[in-house]
Structure 1
Amino acid sequence: MLSWLAMKMMDPMMDDVLIKMLTEDYPDNPFVMTTIGQKLTPMAIVEAGIRAELGTELMRPIGSPVVLSPWEKILLSGKQLFQFPTQDLNQIDTKTMIGPNATKPLQLDIPIMITGMSYGGSLSLQMKMALAKGASMAGTSSNTGESAVTNEERDNAKYLIGQYHRGGWLNTQEQLERLDAIEVQFGQGAFGGAVESTAKANTIGEHLRMTWHLKEGEDGIISSRFPNVSTPQDVVNLIANLKDQYEVPIGIKIAGSDYIEQEMEVIAQTNADYIVIDGAEGGTAVAPPTLEDHMGLPTLHTLSRTVDWLVENNARNRFSLIAGGGLKTPGHFLKAIALGADAVYIGSIALMAALQSQMTIALPQAPAPQLALYIGKLNDKLDIDKAALHLANFLKSSVAEMKLAVQATGKNAIKELDRNDLVTVDRDLAEFLKIRYAASPRK
């Protein structure tokens, strides 16, 4: 009965709407909103509204929806008769070593690492603890991001990489001595490089203010460059000073850009142990959409060009190479390693995995990131142990599938994959990546 009444009430309304849509000229036709949506896109309309309201730059969490790395056009090639698959799945080695030339190399059980996402600048302390604990359960590392080492994160992390960064909150001997690797952060993919960033004092809680060693009422400021680093030689000297003081691997992180070869020329002059290249599809909590969507170089292109430069300049064996930026599936991880990475960084997909069973706490009243962000209204609702377990399960599941793919290729270790194991259906991609084109028979 209620259904019948509802339909009777809606019928004249629908009639009026349809008559107006099918008879009125466009200026007074409600269907014009469909045209506007198709032309401008819902995202541009929404962001125009937010800009019109705020009058300041926007800060879009998670990263850009623009994905230009064509990972899906690349496939791994299995062997069956002329060569055989690896006989025993248990033989497949998943370990990777970051900075083998360092006094204390970082030995990980798996080649998937949690990327830099900062406490305060991006994530809540609870989520940082969950990421550290989940990574430890899977035998891999977590990363402080542009923040400082907290006791809470350090206690939950088996392996903790810390970012020596342009804010300076981790750049002291007391902080650096607590790390398993030191990553000098010159830029990141979601920003297309390095720009100024400010956390206003009124958004900084007591625990974070003490962690960052700020005075009451003082803003947290990240500069576009390090103080006293204004020439390539200054970069060389900075890395050399860190190498002289610390036995753990020292790395350099940069954003992918079309100047990647010129950036590599500077890095090659240093005695760093590892390089992190962060493609334009990388995520963050605070980058403006213009930087996320319109700057940088896609992760795939950044990785390939970096590896090519290192090989051509006889420098590949000098550095471990970590690739990050929008990588989200075991297939992506495998292809990045086959193209030359020693390991991959993941961020956004790690957060989604960690939040797996807890998103319902927020949805539909609030977006799921409210559980994870430092400024999130629901971050105190996060169950740390549950989030850690789900992250660990995601990592273990990913590695299990990666091992099966490696078995099919006839290899004995994930690190044995190379470009000979790849094929693409795109002729231009084959030429660029120097891999097989699927339409050409093997000789």
Structure 2
Amino acid sequence: MLNWALLKLLDPFSDDIVKKMFTEDFPDNPYVMVTASQKLTPKAIVEAMLRAESGKVLKLPYGSPVVLSPWNKILLSPKQLFQLPTPSTSNVDSATIIGPNAKKPLKLDIPIMITGMSYGGSLSLKMKMALAKGAAMVGTSTNTGESAVTHEVRDNAKYLIGQYNRGGLQTSPELLGQLDAIEVQLGQGAWGGAVESTMESENIGTHLRKIWHIKDGQDCTIYSRMPGVTSTQDIIDLVNNLKEQYDVPVGIKIAGTDYIEYELEVIAKTNADYIVVDGSEGGTAVAPPTLEDNVGLPTLHSLVRTINWLEENNERDRFSVIAAGGLTTPGHFLKAIALGADAVYIGSIAVFAAIQCEAIKTLPEAPPTQLSLYIGKYTDRLNVDKAARNLANFLKSCLEEMKLAVQAVGKYSIKELSKEDLVTVDKELAEFMGIRYAVKPRREHVLS
């Protein structure tokens, strides 16, 4: 009866729409919004309306929809007869080490790490706690992002990486001494590198203000340069000073860019233990769409060029490499590792995995972002234990599928994957990446 009544109410309305669409010229035809969307794209129209409303810089969570890394054109090559598959996935090792040359290397059970997403500038405290707890369940690390250590996150994390950031929020020996690795954050893929970003005082709560050591009414700014740094040599000295003071691995995070070889030349002058290369497809909580969509270098290209430069300059053994930016599936993770990464960072997909069915607490009234972002309206509704378990399950699922792929390739460790295990049907991609072009037959193997 209810369906019948609704149909009766909607019938006159739909009749009017259909008649208008099929009889009126386009300027007064509702279908013109369809053609406009096809030409301008719905995203551009919505952004235009939001800009017209506020006159301010937009803040787009989760990163750009522009994905230029052709991961789907790369495949792993299994072996079946001339070389047998690995007997069992239980024989496949998933451990990795970040900064093996450091006095206290970061030893992880899996090569998937939670990337830097800050408490305050990005996520709520509850979500940070959930990510830390979920990562700990599977023996991997989480990251403070451009914030500071909180006891809530430190207590839930097994391994905590902290960013020595451009806001100066985590530079004291007290905070740095609590970390399992120190990451000097000099750029971010979703921000197109390093630009300033200010969080207005009215959006900074009491707890966060205490953590950041800022006064009431004071804004908090992440600067384009590290405070006190005025030259490239200052960056080198900063990293080397941290290495002298702390036994844990010290890394440098940069955004992928066409100048990446120049950036690596500078990094090679430091005593850093690891490099995070963050492609333009990376996510964030608040970056402007212009930077997300139009600035930087895709993740795959950034990673390949990084590994190539390190190998060509005999620097590969000095640095662990972490690939970041838009990596979301076990396939992405495997291919990044085969291309030379020691581990991968994940962010947005980890948040979505953690939310899982928690999302019903906001939908359809509000998007799930309101559960996880610091400025979210429903952050109090997030169940930390459930979110942590969801994340742990996601990571376990990814790992088991990765082990199956490694078994098919005939390897005994995820870190044994290399370019030799990859193939593509794209000739230009094969030449760029230095992997097999599938059109050409293999001729090097001779049966014994």
On whether the aligned pair clears a TM of 0.5, the verdict is yes
Is the contact between residue 167 and residue 227 of structure 2 (CA under 8 Å) also seen in structure 1? no
Q: Find the aligned partners of 1:117 and 1:214 in 2 and give their Cα distance.
A: 20
Q: Find the aligned partners of 1:398 and 1:17 in 2 and give their Cα distance.
A: 47
Q: Find the aligned partners of 1:240 and 1:12 in 2 and give their Cα distance.
A: 74
CA distance change for structure 1 residues 32 and 383 in 2, over 3 Å: closer, same or farther? same
Q: Find the aligned partners of 2:369 and 2:68 in 1 and give their Cα distance.
A: 24
CA distance change for structure 1 residues 382 and 84 in 2, over 3 Å: closer, same or farther? same
| 1:356-371 correspondence runs (5 A) | 356-371=356-371
Provide the residue aligned with 2:446 in structure 1. Answer: none
* Per-residue deviation, 1:21: 1.9
Q: Deviations over 1:69-95 (max 9, x none)?
A: 110111001001111111132111100
Q: Find the aligned partners of 1:121 and 1:6 in 2 and give their Cα distance.
A: 45
Tell me the SS of whatever aligns to 2:290: helix
Please identify, of 201-210 and 10-19, the stretch whose mean Cα deviation from structure 2 is larger: 10-19
The residue identity in structure 2 corresponding to 1:126 is K
CA distance change for structure 1 residues 343 and 28 in 2, over 3 Å: closer, same or farther? same
| 1:318-329 correspondence runs (5 A) | 318-329=318-329
Q: Deviations over 1:255-309 (max 9, x none)?
A: 0011111111111111100000000000000100000111010000000000000
| 1:267-286 correspondence runs (5 A) | 267-286=267-286
Provide the residue aligned with 1:378 in structure 2. Answer: 378
TM-score, length basis structure 1: 0.98
Tell me the SS of whatever aligns to 1:345: strand
Tell me the SS of whatever aligns to 1:356: helix
Q: Deviations over 1:347-402 (max 9, x none)?
A: 00000110012000010000001000101000011000000001011111111111
Q: Find the aligned partners of 1:163 and 1:35 in 2 and give their Cα distance.
A: 46
The answer to whether structure 1 residue 108 and structure 2 residue 115 are counterparts is no
Provide the residue aligned with 1:344 in structure 2. Answer: 344
Provide the residue aligned with 1:72 in structure 2. Answer: 72
Provide the residue aligned with 1:246 in structure 2. Answer: 246
CA distance change for structure 1 residues 433 and 384 in 2, over 3 Å: closer, same or farther? same
* Per-residue deviation, 1:141: 0.2
The residue identity in structure 2 corresponding to 1:374 is Y
The residue identity in structure 2 corresponding to 1:90 is S
Q: Find the aligned partners of 1:273 and 1:5 in 2 and give their Cα distance.
A: 68
Structure 2: which 5+ runs fail to align?
444-448
CA distance change for structure 1 residues 409 and 174 in 2, over 3 Å: closer, same or farther? same
Q: Find the aligned partners of 2:396 and 2:18 in 1 and give their Cα distance.
A: 53
CA distance change for structure 1 residues 9 and 384 in 2, over 3 Å: closer, same or farther? closer
Q: Find the aligned partners of 2:4 and 2:415 in 1 and give their Cα distance.
A: 65
Tell me the SS of whatever aligns to 2:356: coil
Provide the residue aligned with 1:431 in structure 2. Answer: 431
CA distance change for structure 1 residues 7 and 148 in 2, over 3 Å: closer, same or farther? closer
The residue identity in structure 2 corresponding to 1:177 is G
CA distance change for structure 1 residues 17 and 416 in 2, over 3 Å: closer, same or farther? same
- Alignment length, in residue pairs? 443
Q: Find the aligned partners of 1:435 and 1:253 in 2 and give their Cα distance.
A: 27
Q: Find the aligned partners of 2:6 and 2:395 in 1 and give their Cα distance.
A: 49
Please identify, of 31-40 and 375-384, the stretch whose mean Cα deviation from structure 2 is larger: 31-40
* Per-residue deviation, 1:8: 4.9
Provide the residue aligned with 1:205 in structure 2. Answer: 205
Q: Find the aligned partners of 1:442 and 1:193 in 2 and give their Cα distance.
A: 41
Tell me the SS of whatever aligns to 1:160: strand
Q: Find the aligned partners of 2:372 and 2:16 in 1 and give their Cα distance.
A: 45
Provide the residue aligned with 1:42 in structure 2. Answer: 42
The residue identity in structure 2 corresponding to 1:438 is A
Is the contact between residue 197 and residue 221 of structure 2 (CA under 8 Å) also seen in structure 1? yes
Q: Find the aligned partners of 1:203 and 1:2 in 2 and give their Cα distance.
A: 45
Q: Find the aligned partners of 1:29 and 1:187 in 2 and give their Cα distance.
A: 47
Provide the residue aligned with 2:88 in structure 1. Answer: 88
Q: Find the aligned partners of 2:97 and 2:71 in 1 and give their Cα distance.
A: 25
CA distance change for structure 1 residues 2 and 321 in 2, over 3 Å: closer, same or farther? closer
| 1:16-415 correspondence runs (5 A) | 16-415=16-415
* Per-residue deviation, 1:10: 4.1
* Per-residue deviation, 1:428: 1.1
The residue identity in structure 2 corresponding to 1:118 is S
Q: Find the aligned partners of 2:7 and 2:359 in 1 and give their Cα distance.
A: 34
Please identify, of 256-265 and 82-91, the stretch whose mean Cα deviation from structure 2 is larger: 82-91
Is the contact between residue 281 and residue 325 of structure 2 (CA under 8 Å) also seen in structure 1? yes
Q: Find the aligned partners of 1:155 and 1:8 in 2 and give their Cα distance.
A: 59
Q: Find the aligned partners of 1:180 and 1:211 in 2 and give their Cα distance.
A: 19
* Per-residue deviation, 1:14: 3.4
Q: Find the aligned partners of 1:213 and 1:6 in 2 and give their Cα distance.
A: 57
* Per-residue deviation, 1:430: 0.8
The residue identity in structure 2 corresponding to 1:197 is S
* Per-residue deviation, 1:228: 2.6
Tell me the SS of whatever aligns to 2:357: coil
* Per-residue deviation, 1:12: 4.2
The residue identity in structure 1 corresponding to 2:315 is A
* Per-residue deviation, 1:15: 3.5
Tell me the SS of whatever aligns to 1:357: helix
CA distance change for structure 1 residues 238 and 25 in 2, over 3 Å: closer, same or farther? same
Tell me the SS of whatever aligns to 1:251: strand
* Coordinate RMSD, CA, aligned: 1.1
Is the contact between residue 168 and residue 227 of structure 2 (CA under 8 Å) also seen in structure 1? no
Q: Deviations over 1:86-118 (max 9, x none)?
A: 113211110000000000000000000000000
* Per-residue deviation, 1:232: 2.0
The residue identity in structure 1 corresponding to 2:370 is Q
Structure 1: which 5+ runs fail to align?
none
CA distance change for structure 1 residues 83 and 7 in 2, over 3 Å: closer, same or farther? same
Tell me the SS of whatever aligns to 1:27: helix
* Per-residue deviation, 1:227: 2.4
The residue identity in structure 2 corresponding to 1:424 is T
Q: Find the aligned partners of 1:179 and 1:8 in 2 and give their Cα distance.
A: 64
